[in-house]
Amino acid sequence: MSKISVIIEREYITRVRKKSFIIMTILAPVLLALFIVVPSLIMLNQDTEMKKIAIVEDGTDLFKNAIPDIKNTEFVYLGDVNIEDLKKNFEQAGYYGILYISPEVIHVPEAVQLISRKQPPILLLEHINNSLEKEIERQKLLSYNIENLDNIMKKVRTKVSVQTIKIDETGNVKETSTGVAMVLAYITSFVMYFLVFVFGTQVMRGVIEEKTNRVVEVIISSVKPVQLMMGKIIGLALVGLTQFIIWIFLTLAIVYFVKSAILPDKTITEAVQSIPQDIMSQNAAEIIQTEKVTQSEPAVTPEFVKIFNSALNQPWGIIIFCFVYYFITGYLLYASIFAAIGSAVDNETETQQFMLPVTLPVILGLFVAMSTMQNPESSLAFWFSIIPFTSPIVMMARIPFGVPLWEIALSMFLMAVTFIIFVWMAAKIYRTGILMYGKKSSWKEMWKWLTYRG
């Protein structure tokens, strides 16, 4: 055991001192935080360029004032003008574009054109579409001569926003977000795929390098081949765990910073909500508003606060525990296979014939994980989260949506049994293949090494 610990120490220290390890350890949480925060900040800081759009109709006034102005966009109704003349000089006139509306739009949805030099933003197109659709619906209803139609429509028009609430067996409830769960499932499954595959291939390359340089002949004079293989595998596993633990602490620090620096302080809001509206005077409201301004809090939309709180309400304890477990067992499973392949070849080119059967389950697991986000309870997601070769990736994609504990326990048990069997098989191949030179190996040859009893 002392010899294995020496090999583990050598592999560990050699890897953590590399510049690539230090750079990736620091950059990964920052990139992850940017991946989550930047889209939200982009939503908060939309395009500030002021746009003026000319609305032109073909001989009618059906849609005059039908499209309201929005932030950074003004709609100017020109009525019936020569569209061809306007196309030639609309930029000189200060217009971003021309919205041409044909009377046929009531019957032909495509009878509207937005003419501009640039590709218009999708939100602008959606605003125009929605405004015209509502106006067409209003005009069609007016044809039925309903009295006070506008007032009726204002009272009838309703917006609905579904709030997702999770309740556990003890009755505790938490506000959640399907979008946050999908993002978390994507990140955890992809990181699991990346770590297992990258660290597994590093084991293979390390074995090939030592075999090519004949260093292994010197090493196995003092240690057994199995001890050498296990030392390399465990050493790299500890490197990965070290990186993962640092990622957790750095990510928590970033989350704490974002929460304290970006999200508004809830104490004032809670204080306002606790005061009955019928007794809160105008002066009190002004004092509270002044206190809000003096704190110089950044403007954040309620949607951003909701998304952030939903992220904090995720089952992080289960996610972190399962991630560590599946990383260790998944890595040991694939690293042992990669070590066996590395011992059976003389250079990295010869590994191509062995890589497809090994990488296919990993890639297939990643594809299933992507589809799992749409239907985490499907039979396909269930079985691929139980099968050991794909369970580390697929199960991590399911956990943010909620998985019964018995399914996690069954998957973990099968994963442990499988990696123990494959480590034992890889050790038998490794002890023979590591000293084989000049002979091209095959799956048939590796099977002979596996069944060799000498």
The more confidently predicted of residues 90 and 279 is 90
Q: What mean pLDDT is reported for the chain? A: 76
> What is the DSSP code (8-state) at residue 70?
B
In the three-class reduction of DSSP (H, G, I as helix; E, B as strand; rest coil), residue 55 is classed as strand
Task: List phi, psi (to 5°) of 79.
Answer: 75, -140
> How large is the angle between the packed helices 2-16 and 19-44, nearest 10 degrees?
50
Bridge partners of 55?
Answer: 77, 99
CB atoms within 10 A of CB 388: 21
pLDDT over 70 percentage in the chain: 76
The more confidently predicted of residues 139 and 325 is 325
Given a cut of 70, is residue 427 above it in pLDDT? yes
Given a cut of 80, is residue 408 above it in pLDDT? yes
Distance separating alpha carbons of residues 315 and 58, to the nearest angstrom: 58
pTM of the model: 0.61
pLDDT at 269: 43
pLDDT digits (tens, 9 = 90+) for 283-300: 444 444 444 444 444 445
Q: How far is CA 100 from CA 71, 86, 116, 253, in A?
A: 21, 11, 11, 52
Distance separating alpha carbons of residues 264 and 262, to the nearest angstrom: 6
| Ordered structural domains, the chain, with CATH | 2-39+179-263+300-451 (no CATH), 51-156 (3.40.190.10)
pLDDT at 174: 60
Distance separating alpha carbons of residues 194 and 394, to the nearest angstrom: 13
Q: Highest-confidence range of 26-30, 43-47, 101-105, 307-311, by mean pLDDT?
A: 101-105
> What is the DSSP code (8-state) at residue 120?
P
Please compute the mean of the pLDDT values over residues 343-371 and round it to a whole number.
82
CB atoms within 10 A of CB 134: 14
Please compute the mean of the pLDDT values over residues 137-162 and round it to a whole number.
76
Q: Are 435 and 217 in contact (CB under 8 A)?
A: yes
* Burial zone of 177 (CB within 10 Å; 0-12 exposed, 13-18 middle, 19+ buried): buried
Distance separating alpha carbons of residues 401 and 367, to the nearest angstrom: 17
pLDDT at 426: 83
The tokens of 42 are what? Answer: 């982009």
Bridge partners of 57?
Answer: 101
